[in-house]
Chain A
Amino acid sequence: MSAPLSEVDVAATTSRAADTGPWRLAMRRLRRDRVAMVALTVLAVFVAAALFAPLVAPYPPNAQPDIVGLARVAPSWSHPFGTDIFSRDVLSRVIYGARISLGVATLAILLAMSAGTAWGAVAGYAGGATDAVMMRIIDALLSVPRILILLLVLGLWGNISLPMLVLVLGLTGWFGTSRLVRERVRALSKQDFTLAARAIGARDIRVLWRHVLPNALSPVIVAATLGIGNVIVLEAALSYLGIGVRPPHASWGNIIEDGADQIGSAWWIALFPGLAMLVTVIAFNLLGDALRDALDPRDERRP
């Protein structure tokens, strides 16, 4: 029962299947975006430096070789970013700080996006009363300023471990995402292909996982990329306040705090971690904007 019934429609379209999947198309569009490529390169350098910190950093981050003679040394060839009041090398601390700052932010955003996607997907797909209750909970959670929750939790907690910090940052950052996903899932649930998937007898979980979610993912990816900058800044702010990443761990925020009261005499201690943060956040934001364009299915420029 597999002989062709009628041989038509053969040359209607020609295509190279290998590079025309929707994700590949988006990546191809992204590759053509020069700004995005610069941002990606910058981020790649930072991530590589963070990953290979022991190889890249000229000194151990917490070494205090000579707390009298080598403290607050201005930038020089041996210490490009200078040293802090304990004679620690600022460049090495910024590189190790990247590990913590990027790592904490990345894991927190992954957690937030997963939680937001799961919550929003269930609410949007279920609809009705379930949706109403779940979204009212989100409304309530969104009405509390995030910084207030963080100050309360972290302030009361005392000395918090890094995994707990990731958890707290992640679990306070998914409410907006859940709304975003819920809207997308609701719209997609009304589309014909969702109905078609149900009409072949697929279970709800399969329809949601295989048909709805893959089509809802683009805005989540964009939100994650744009959101990671916020988390980096937030973590830095908390560390600056002394309730985020605690010493001896170096994070960009607590290095800035180390240098804050030296800003008049030893400006380099606060400046370089600040610059590192600034460049990273800008790069993430530019990449996020570019991703939004690249993933936009309506974007028919140079398809």
Chain B
Amino acid sequence: MNAEPLLIVRDLHTTFATDAGIARAVDGVSFTVARGETVGLVGESGCGKSVTALSLLRLIDGAGRIEAGSEIILEGRNLIALSEREMREVRGNRVAMIWQEPLSALNPVMTVGDQIGEVARVHAGASRREARAKAVEMLRLVGISAPEQRATEYPHQLSGGMRQRVVIAMALVMNPALLIADEPTTALDVTIQAQIIELLREVQQRMGMSVLLITHDLGVVAETASRVIVMYAGEVVEESPVREIFAAAHHPYTEGLLRAMPRVGATGGRLAVIPGSVPAPTNWPSGCRFRDRCPYAWERCEREHPPLYQIGAGHLSRCHLAVEPERRTHPHVPLAAATGAGAGR
């Protein structure tokens, strides 16, 4: 094992020019992923986690751009500095992506075999026949029976779970160093979700790649990841070993996410929600971006943007509670709930 992390993201800023102004979707995100490690990237819709994923592949275009000064260092190379041609060598080869909605991520007029084989054609210069053989091999690897037959079928002929297996097969063709899975189970039935998570885990163990698992589901993270990064409003707000986040989450946003998890056996009462919604990325609030939704917020949170405080071994939290822990004993109604904004209780 190499001591150097496989992936180092440093001060990533991804912005989009919109009619309402510059949207700072990812606003100074830094994290690392070690070789062979599975890291969970958690947050609600609009927090910037998917934009982070696309930024890693440099697939931000149109109105969006990765700001100068951002660094994405994979296997010692800064991807930001690569030419487009060099970047294409990375995509699908060293870094591969698993998509949220397999049906829309697959080309409807191309057989799944051709789509899997295309990766080998692009990166390994495989012939038509070699590509087909590779596709069959990959389909078998991801647990699809009668792979020769399935390879000739179109996405609409497969079930949701099988489609996601096809998407995973596509991602694994070149044995990438990093697999980015963007909400890989969100679009699937609950029973299939567990199978796909299990498959990802088996694949990860067998092939030894690193996985960046993007999800809003902390349950999935608990099952698969060793570390978790929580994003809110374009920033990392908490980073911690996975066990610690369930035992001792520090950031009030993470606490809220944990409380909002449905639990088997819990009876009575409504599921907790975090009042309000993520602020607009064109206009992040000054100070702490979570303060309107936070039950502990005090005047310091308005005045001072919290840094990532070190609160334990490998545990960081972007909350002033780290230095004024006594504030935690006096929760109040968050501003967003008091003013009735968003989904209050």
Which residues of A are interface residues toward B (Cβ below 8 A)?
A: 1-10, 12-13, 15, 17, 20-23, 127-128, 191-193, 195-203, 206, 210-211, 214-215, 297
Assess whether B122 is in contact with A202, with CB atoms less than 8 Å apart: yes
The interface stretch among B100-108, B246-254, B329-337 is B100-108
CA distance A85 to B206 in the complex (A): 87
A6 touches B159 (CB 8 A): no
* A15 partner residues in chain B, CB cutoff 8 A: 153, 157
Structural contact, B104 and A17, CB atoms closer than 8 A: no
Report whether B105 and A196 are in contact in the complex, using a CB–CB cutoff of 8 Å. yes
Q: Give the dominant DSSP class at A's interface.
A: loop
Residues of B within 8 A of A20 (CB): 153-154, 157
Task: Give B164-181 as 1s and 0s: 1 = Cβ < 8 Å from A's Cβ atoms.
Answer: 010100100000000000
B144: contacting residue among A9, A193, A215, CB under 8 A: A9
Q: How far is the CB of B243 from chain A (nearest CB, A)?
A: 26
Enumerate chain B residues within 8 angstroms of A17, measured Cβ to Cβ.
149, 152-153, 157
B88 within 8 Å of A by Cβ? yes
- The contact of A201 among B92, B99, B162, B199, by CB within 8 Å, is B92
Q: Among residues 30 to 53 in chain B, which have CB atoms less than 8 Å away from a CB atom of chain A?
A: none
* Closest partner residue, chain B, to A10 (CB atom): B145
The minimal Cβ–Cβ distance linking B253 to chain A, given in whole angstroms, is 29
| 27 A–B pairs (Cβ distance < 8 Å), ordered by A | A2-B137, A4-B143, A6-B143, A6-B198, A7-B145, A8-B143, A8-B161, A9-B143, A9-B161, A9-B195, A12-B158, A12-B159, A13-B158, A20-B154, A21-B109, A23-B109, A192-B104, A193-B104, A196-B170, A197-B107, A200-B123, A201-B92, A201-B119, A210-B107, A211-B107, A215-B107, A297-B108
Given B91, B104, B109, B158, which contacts A191 in the complex, CB threshold below 8 Å?
A: B104
Docked complex Cα distance between A206 and B146 (Å): 29
On whether the beta carbons of A199 and B91 are closer than 8 Å, the reply is yes
* Cross-chain contact B152 with A7 (CB below 8 angstroms): no
Q: Within 8 Å CB of A201, what residues of B?
A: 88-93, 119, 122-123
Chain A residues closer than 8 Å to B99, beta-carbon distance: 192, 196
Residues of B within 8 A of A202 (CB): 88, 92, 118, 122
- Judge if B62 is at the interface, Cβ distance under 8 Å: yes
Per the CB 8 Å criterion, the residue count for chain B at the interface is: 55
- Select from chain B the residue with minimum beta-carbon distance to A213: B109
Q: Residue B203 at the A interface, CB < 8 A?
A: yes
Return the 8 tightest CB-CB contacts between A and B, nearest first.
A200-B92, A12-B159, A201-B91, A201-B92, A192-B104, A15-B157, A201-B88, A6-B143
Residues of chain A within 8 A (CB-CB) of B165 are 9
Contact status A13-B159, CB under 8 Å = yes
| List of B residues within 8 angstroms of A203 by Cβ | 88
Task: Report if A210-B118 is in contact (Cβ < 8 Å); known contacts: A6-B198, A192-B104, A196-B97.
Answer: yes
Contact B141 A206 (CB under 8 A): no
Give, as a whole number of angstroms, the nearest-CB distance from B164 to chain A: 10
* B59 CB contacts on chain A under 8 angstroms: 195, 198-199
B202 beta carbon closer than 8 Å to chain A: yes
| Known contacts A214-B110, A297-B108; is-contact A199 B92 (Cβ 8 Å) | yes
Query: Are B89 and A1 within 8 A (Cβ)?
Result: no
Distance of A15 Cα from B199 Cα, bound (Å)? 24
B294 beta carbon closer than 8 Å to chain A: no
Distance of B31 from chain A, by nearest CB (Å): 20
With A8-B143, A22-B109, A196-B106 in contact, is A127–B97 under 8 Å at CB? no
Partner of A4, one of B104, B107, B140: B140
Alpha-carbon separation in the docked complex, A15 to B158 (Å): 9
Contact partners of A3 in chain B: CB under 8 A:
140-141
Q: Assess whether A200 is in contact with B91, with CB atoms less than 8 Å apart.
A: yes
Given contacts A3-B141, A12-B158, A20-B153, 5 further A-B contacts (CB under 8 A): A2-B140, A20-B157, A199-B97, A201-B90, A211-B110
CA distance A218 to B145 in the complex (A): 33
A22: chain B residues within 8 A (beta carbon): 108-109, 154, 156
* Residue on A nearest B137 in the bound complex, by CB: A2
Assuming A196-B97, A203-B88, is B109 touching A214 (CB within 8 A)?
yes
A34 to chain B minimum Cβ distance, whole angstroms, is 27
Q: Which residues of A contact B119 (CB under 8 A)?
A: 200-201
Is B131 close to A, CB under 8 A?
no
**How far, in whole Å, are A299 and B22 apart by their CA atoms in the complex?**
41
Residues on the B chain within 8 Å of A297, using CB: 108
Contact residue among B118, B152, B159, B206 (Cβ-Cβ distance under 8 Å from A1)? B206
Chain B nearest CB, measured from A198 CB (Å) = 6
B319 beta carbon closer than 8 Å to chain A: no
Q: In the complex, A210 Cα to B198 Cα: how many Å?
A: 33
Shortest C-beta distance, B50 to chain A (Å), equals 11
Q: Are A6 and B202 in contact (CB under 8 A)?
A: yes
Min Cβ gap A271→B in Å is: 45
Nearest-CB distance from B16 to chain A (Å)?
Answer: 14
